[in-house]
Structure formats: C-alpha cells, structure tokens
Amino acid sequence: MVDRAMLRRTYDWCIAAADKPHALWILAAVAFAESSFFPVPPDVMLLPMALARPRRAWLFATVCTIASVAGGVLGYAIGALLYDSVGQWLIHLYGLGDKVEAFRASYAEWGAWIIIGKGLTPIPYKLVTITSGFAGYNVWLFILCSIIARGGRFFIVAVVLDRYGEAIRREIEKRLGLWAAIGAAVIVLGFVIAFRLI
C-alpha cells in the first residue's frame, strides 16, 4: 500500500521543482536514462511539471524528446556494440532474452513501424533501442523514427496539458492516490505488453 503522505510529498516536490533551474536537467536525465537503461519513464516528472506550468509544457516536451532520442542512441549503441555483455544483461534483467531473436527478425519487414509504434506506447523504450542496435537497423532511420515516436508521445502530453492543464490538475489533486495507481498500472502494463509482443 502506498503511503499517501509520501505520495503527496513527492507530487508536491515535482510541482515545486517545475520552476527551479535544475528541473530541466533532472527531467532530461530521466528521459535520457529511460531510453537506454532506467526503468522509470520521464512521464513521472513531465506530468507534474507540466501541470504546475502548463504554458511551459511545450518546453518540457521538447527537452524530453531531445534527451529521450539521445538516450535512445545510447541504447542503440548498447545493442550494436555491447549486446554480448551489457545489452544481454539488460534484456535478461527484464526477462526477455528468449524473445529478442523474434523481435530482431521482424525488423526486416516492419522496422520503422516497430520503433514508432512501440515508442508511442508504455512499452519500455529501452527494449526497442537496444534491439534496434542489435538488429543492425539503419541508425539514421532509427533516429528519425525515434524523433517521431518520442516527440509524438511527449507533445501529446504538452497539447493536452496546455489546453486542459488546470482542470486536469484539479482532478489529479482531488484523487491523487487513484491517478498514481493508474500511472503505476500503465507502467506495469507496458512491461506485460513487452513480454507478449516483443
């Protein structure tokens, strides 16, 4: 059971951090790391920061996109250059070692759609980036598809929060526990989908 006081403190910290100079750096670091090795998506920071400052949601989405694509390039490099050591370790950490070959084979026909489709979903993006490198997918097409996928995901958040931010913030603050549980369920769902589809 999640401690409600701790959840509220964490939420309040993220809201307060939206105006601090280091907030963009932390957001960028989380977005970068999530695309290559870190299990927590940047939405955990992006959403409260954009709720606190809806007019800056576009800036936050831009930072997330750039950092996520850069982190994706690191994930790609892990798959291409270090798969036999670091890449395999990360894939096995998530219990997906036996599914990589099937995922790799599908790149021959569906590479761009895999990157874009999975980049827009809650499926952990690091699995896509590492496998893209392992599969030898064209790095420039990978970067282009990553920009489309990650930009699409983060800018959808920016559009919605820029337009409806105040109403959404009131609703989230009214039922913070429920929305935190839904967010956690979406992250878990992403891993479950990854197990079934990758």
User: Could you report the per-residue pLDDT of 64-101, keeping only the tens digit for each?
Assistant: 999 999 999 999 998 888 777 776 676 677 666 666 66
pLDDT value at residue 46: 84
Model confidence pLDDT, tens digit, residues 159-182: 887 787 677 767 766 766 666 666
pLDDT value at residue 182: 64
Does a structural domain hold residue 196? no
Ramachandran class of 124: left when φ > 0, alpha when ψ lies in -120 to 50, beta otherwise: beta
Does a structural domain hold residue 21? yes
- Judge whether residue 110 has pLDDT over 90: no
Does a structural domain hold residue 139? yes
Does a structural domain hold residue 108? yes
Does a structural domain hold residue 182? no
SS3 for 41? Answer: coil
Q: How many domains does the chain have?
A: 1
**What's the pTM?**
0.74
Does a structural domain hold residue 11? yes
Q: Exposure pattern of 52-68 as b/e (b: 16+ CB <10 Å)?
A: bbbebbbebbebbbbbb
- Judge whether residue 6 has pLDDT over 80: no
Helical (H) or strand (E) element with 130: helix 125-135
Q: Where in the sequence is the domain holding 130, given as residue range(s)?
A: 4-35+48-175
Evaluate the CA torsion angle 25, 123, 186, 85 in order and state its sign: negative
Does a structural domain hold residue 183? no
Candidate ranges 12-21, 47-56, 71-80, 178-187; pick with highest mean pLDDT: 71-80
Does a structural domain hold residue 66? yes
Q: For residue 112, what are its two tokens? A: 């761009």
